[in-house]
Amino acid sequence: MNIQSPALSDTLAAEYVLGTLHGAARRRFEQLLYAHPSLRQAVADWERRLNRLTVASPAVAPPPTVWRNLEQRLFPVPIRRPWWDSLPFWRGLALAGVLAAILVIAPQLVPPPTAEATFAAIRSAQNDVLWTVARAADGQLHVSNLRPMKIPHDQNCLLWLKTGDGPPVMLGVLPDDGSARTLTMPASLTHPVQDGELWVTMQPAAKATPPARPAYQARWQVL
């Protein structure tokens, strides 16, 4: 693990914070954290970036049925048993019935899976992260410019979504001054966001035309 490479250190720190670094590689990375302040700084930077996205994303409360089912499982109402239930045979039969009932209703007590969050890191040719893009539960995109850029005053950094063989769809103007903003998905978009590839171009926003190729591009990751 060549941690002397800034690009590799930044990538490992990002995977560690996102939770995609597993097994022996994660344990080795945690051992290196104690001896290398640069690694700890990279981890702290990524935690700060993702915390900004977390604050911008709306909280999603679980359905009320989830709490009711948990109460029933953790604090069941005691059942009054008749006197003959103390006999070994009937006690065993009752236990078998309870187990059968649990097997039937258990799938109904499992809360529905939470929606997967999608995240993308748009990098430069030197593998530096320029923007992070996160899709919130309401469909909006929370974008953050991590490295302020020197862009000509008549140019803008435009974010596009490229899906299938059709032309890219513009999602909005990206910040280039180290700030963050929220983009509202265009009504004309027909494909799911996570099915496409993100493109970034530099051109006048007033004359934005679908690009033939991007200046930067990135693929989605599932968190």
How do residues 116-128 score in pLDDT, each as one tens digit? Answer: 557 888 888 888 8
Q: Please compute, for residue 122, the number of CA atoms within 13 A of its CA located in the half-sphere on the CB side.
A: 27
Residues 199 and 142 in one domain: yes
Question: What pLDDT is recorded for position 91?
Answer: 64
How large is the average pLDDT for residues 130-135?
87
Distance (Å, whole) CA 154 – CA 148:
17
99-to-92, 93, 95, 102, 217 alpha-carbon distances in Å? 11, 10, 6, 5, 54
The mean pLDDT of 42-54, rounded to a whole number, is: 81
pLDDT in tens, 144-200: 888 788 888 888 899 988 887 788 888 889 999 988 999 888 777 766 666 788 999
What confidence score (pLDDT) does residue 138 get? 75
Verify that 175 and 202 share a domain, yes or no.
yes
Q: What is the mean pLDDT of residues 102-106?
A: 53
Residue (of 122, 120, 140) closest to 222 by Cα position: 120
> Residue 78, CB half-sphere, CA atoms under 13 Å: how many?
3
Q: Could you tell me which residues come within 8 angstroms of residue 170 by beta carbon, excluding any fewer than 6 positions away?
A: 158, 159, 160, 186, 208, 210
Task: Find, among 96, 216, 91, the residue nearest to 145 by Cα.
Answer: 216
pLDDT of residue 200: 92
Judge if 125 and 196 occupy the same domain.
yes
Q: Is residue 150 part of a domain?
A: yes
pLDDT beyond 80 at 75: no
Say whether both 34 and 51 belong to one domain: yes
Residues 75 and 28 both lie in one domain: no
Residue 213 has pLDDT above 70, yes or no: yes
Q: Is residue 1 a part of any domain in this protein? A: no
What angle (nearest 5°) sits at the alpha carbon of residue 114, between those of residues 110 and 115?
150
Number of structural domains in the chain:
3
- What average pLDDT does the structure give for the chain? 76
Same domain for 123 and 97, yes or no, is no
Q: Output phi, psi for 162, to 5 deg.
A: -110, 115
Asked if residues 140 and 159 have their Cβ atoms less than 8 Å apart, the reply is: no
Q: Which two tokens stand for residue 8?
A: 């590799």
Containing structural domain, residue 87: 64-109
**170: in domain:** yes
Domain boundary among 36, 56, 76: 56
Domain contains 147: yes
pLDDT for 215 beyond 70? yes
Same domain for 155 and 209, yes or no, is: yes
- Return d(Cα 214, Cα 70) in angstroms, integer: 50
Instruction: Give the least confident one: 15-24, 35-44, 60-69, 91-100.
Output: 91-100
Assess whether 70 and 46 both reside in one domain. no
